[in-house]
Amino acid sequence: MRIGIDEARRLAERGLEGLGLSATDAARVAEHLLDCELRGLGYAGLARVLSMAERYADRPHQGRPITVLSETPVSARLNGGDNVGYLVGHEATRIAIDKAVTSGIAIVGANDTWYTGMLSFYAEMATRAGLAVMIASNATPWVAPAGGTEPRFGTNPICFGFPGDQGPVIWDIGISNIIHAQAVMARRLGQNLPEDAAYDAEGRPTTDPVAALNGAFMAWGGHRGSGLGIVVQLLGMIAGSPVTPEHLSDFGYLIIAFRPDLLSPLDEVKRKVSAYSALIRDTRPVEGGPPVRMPFDRSAALRAERLAQGEIQIPDTILDAVRALAARG
C-alpha cells in the first residue's frame, strides 16, 4: 500500500507514543525509521514499531534516562538506561560530534541499549559536521562463526563515513547474509529466507524464518565476515556490553569521530573524497553490467526519488498492524 511520507511519520509517532515513548523521543525514532523506508530498507522501517511493541511486551519500557557514567574532553561512556538504540545512538553520536569538533577527536561508548538501527544515519550526522567517523554496534548472538552452526555474535554492523564536497562517502554493512530484521520481516509476511542464509536449532540449513530465528544466521564471506563480526562484538564489549548480550538487551555502541584537518586541510580532504568517488563511478563495468557505484549511492538516490514522490510503499500487513497499534495508543 502506498502512503504519504508525512502520514507514515505521524503514524509511527502515534504507535511509538502508545508504547510509552515521549512525543520528543517518538519523533526522533520515527525520523530514523522513515529514513530506512525512504532508502528501501522496509524491514528496518515501520515494521520496527511492531518489533519494539513485542519487546516491550516482554520487557516493559522503563523510562530510565540516558546517563553519562564517565567523561573526558575526548571521550564519554554512556548507560543507555535500556532505551531503544535509536535514542542512545543519537545521543552518543551528538556527544561525539561536539567533542570532536572542539578537541579534534572523540570516542564515545554506550551500553544497556538495543536496536541501534542504521549506523549510516549517525554517520550522516557526523559527516554533515565535517567529521570522519567509524561506528560499530554489537548485539544479541544471532550469527554463527565460520565453520559453526551456533550463534556466537550479533549481526554486528560496522560503518565508516567521510565528508566530501559532492556529498559523503558512507559504507555501512552487517556481517551476516541476512540481518535479524529481515528474518523478522519474512516471518511477519509468511515468506521464506534465501538459501545459504541460516541454520535451524539443530544446525541444518533452513529457509524457514521461524527456524532461523531459533537457530543462527550465516556470516557472509566465510572467515572474513566472521572475523569482522568477532571484532565488532569485542568493540561492543569495550563500550560496556557483556560478552553475550541477552535477547534484545544490553547491546554496545561505539563511535570514533575525528576532524580530518588534524592531518590534512578539510577542503582538500573533501575534494579528494569526491574525486575518488568520481574515479570509482567511472570504472568500466563488466560487459552487460550496470554502472559501478560507490557505497551509499543506491540508497541516497532512492531516498531522493521517494522524497520527490512524497510517498512510500509499505506491505498491507505491516501498515494495518501499525495502524492498529497506533489506534490502541
Cα R_g (the chain), whole angstroms: 20
What average pLDDT does the chain have?
Answer: 97
Binning pLDDT at 50, 70 and 90, where does residue 63 land?
confident
- In this structure, are strands 75-84 and 105-114 parallel, antiparallel, or unpaired? parallel
CATH 1.10.1530.10: which residues of the chain? 2-61+300-328
113 contacts: CB under 8 Å, gap ≥ 6: 80, 82, 83, 84, 85, 87, 88, 89, 250, 251, 253
Please report which confidence band the pLDDT of residue 108 belongs to, taking 50, 70 and 90 as the band edges. Answer: very high
| Second-level CATH architecture of 2-61+300-328 | Orthogonal Bundle (1.10)
| More reliable by pLDDT, 204 or 1 | 204
pLDDT at 328 over 90: no
Indicate whether this model's pTM tops 0.85: yes
Decide: helix, strand or coil at residue 289: coil
What is the rounded average pLDDT of the residues 116-136?
A: 98
* pLDDT band for position 37 (cuts 50, 70, 90): very high
Residue 329 pLDDT > 70: no
Residue ranges matching CATH 3.30.1370.60 in the chain: 67-262
CATH for 67-262 (3.40.50.150, 3.30.1370.60, 3.90.740.10, 3.40.50.1820): 3.30.1370.60
Instruction: Kindly list the distances between the CA atom of residue 104 and the CA atoms of 95, 107, 131, 170, 267, in Å, as whole numbers in the listed order.
Output: 13, 11, 9, 20, 16
Tell me the residue ranges of DSSP E strands in the chain. 2-4, 67-72, 75-84, 105-114, 132-137, 143-144, 158-162, 169-173, 198-199, 216-218, 251-258, 311-313
Burial (Cβ within 10 Å: 0-12, 13-18, ≥19) of residue 284: exposed
Are 78 and 69 contacting, i.e. CB atoms less than 8 angstroms apart? Answer: yes
Measured between alpha carbons, how far is residue 41 from residues 32, 115, 218 in Å?
11, 15, 20
A 10 A CB-CB count for 282 gives: 9
10 Å CB burial of residue 239 (0-12, 13-18, 19+) is buried
